[in-house]
Structure 1
């Protein structure tokens, strides 16, 4: 896909991987509108020249408000990047159920709801793309964050099914599977982390090349391990 002049709606675009994706898409000439929850970060991105929408995607009302604000505007690329990480570890005490609910909605329900709401607009474009950012942990889970892993695995399977549904349409369905990236979400994680700029670069290249799937960094090794033995892959990630 040629990105110049493409209209992009990018969720979770005010920090981390999303911020770097927004900047790199802008360099390619795309017209990026990004969402986020932090007013200060959104203001900073607005000063960089981006259109911004404050949106809480952890509940249906927040997603519907975003869709209402977007209205009937056209969209060439829907990039579902926003996500939440929640610890859910009974070894450390009793987890907070509401926190799990927010994570499940933001990571799984919100992308599905946005895709459903924007599908009519995407179908009208000569060429369009839906990009779902999942995780290497959609392949094999980490013990400390089973809610996050379950949501990303759910989004992965949704993406695979959606791609099959739309294979003969104008819409390319792309999945990006990052490793552990050096973002605020992973503060305190001792694992070696990929710079967000490089992760974003590989996602943008995948959009340009119309790839169905991009396994980034250590996710490539995890996919090799999974091909050899799913139990081997789980043995690697469950320790974290």
Structure 2
């Protein structure tokens, strides 16, 4: 797919991977609309020339705000990138169930709602794409963040079924599976982290190549292990 002149809606586009995606897509000639919930992030995006929509996707008001701001504008590519985590480790403390609900809504319900609302206009374009950003944890979960892992696994399953439904039509469905990336969400985590610029670049290459999946960085190794032995992949990840 040629990204030039494509109208792109990018959720979570004011920070982390999303901010790098927005800049790289714009550099390729795309018209990028970003969403975010940080006033500072939204202001920075607007200063850089992006159309920025304030939306908290942890509840139904977020998707409603996006659709209201979009009106009947043309969209060629929808990138569901926004996401959030939730502390949910019984070994440390009783989990915050409201935070878990917010995580589930942001990571799964909101992408589903946006896809349902925007698919009719995507189908009207000569070529279009839906890009769902999941995680390597959608393949095999870790121990410490079960709700986050479950939401990404749910979105992965949804993406695979959606791709089958849309087979043969003009809307290409891409799943991007990042590893641990150096963002605000992972600031307290140790270990090796991929720079967000490189993660964004690999997602864009997958869109341009019409790939079905972008297994990014270390996720390629996890994907390979899982294809040989799902049990071994699960054992490896559940150590964390």
Distance 2:221 2:51 in 1: 37
**CA deviation map 1:93-116 (0-9, x unaligned):** 100100000000000000000000
**Residue 235 (structure 1) shift:** 1.4
2:136 corresponds to: 136
Counterparts of 1:77-92 in structure 2 under 5 Å? 77-92=77-92
Counterparts of 1:45-84 in structure 2 under 5 Å? 45-84=45-84
**Residue 198 (structure 1) shift:** 0.2
1:235 corresponds to: 235
2:119 corresponds to: 119
Counterparts of 1:166-181 in structure 2 under 5 Å? 166-181=166-181
Q: Which runs of 5+ in 1 are unaligned?
A: none
Contact 2:108 2:151 in 1 (8 A): yes
Distance 1:22 1:65 in 2: 20
2:218 corresponds to: 218
Q: How many residues align?
A: 240
Q: Which runs of 5+ in 2 are unaligned?
A: none
**CA deviation map 1:199-221 (0-9, x unaligned):** 00000011111111110000000
Distance 2:196 2:207 in 1: 17
TM-score with structure 2 setting the length: 0.99
Distance 1:35 1:119 in 2: 18
**CA deviation map 1:114-161 (0-9, x unaligned):** 000001110110000000000000000011100000000000000000
Counterparts of 1:174-213 in structure 2 under 5 Å? 174-213=174-213
Aligned-residue CA RMSD (Å): 0.7
**CA deviation map 1:147-180 (0-9, x unaligned):** 0000000000000000000011100000000000
1:8 aligns with 2:15: no
What's the secondary structure of 2:161's corresponding residue? helix
**Residue 231 (structure 1) shift:** 1.3
Distance 1:55 1:113 in 2: 14
Contact 2:55 2:61 in 1 (8 A): no
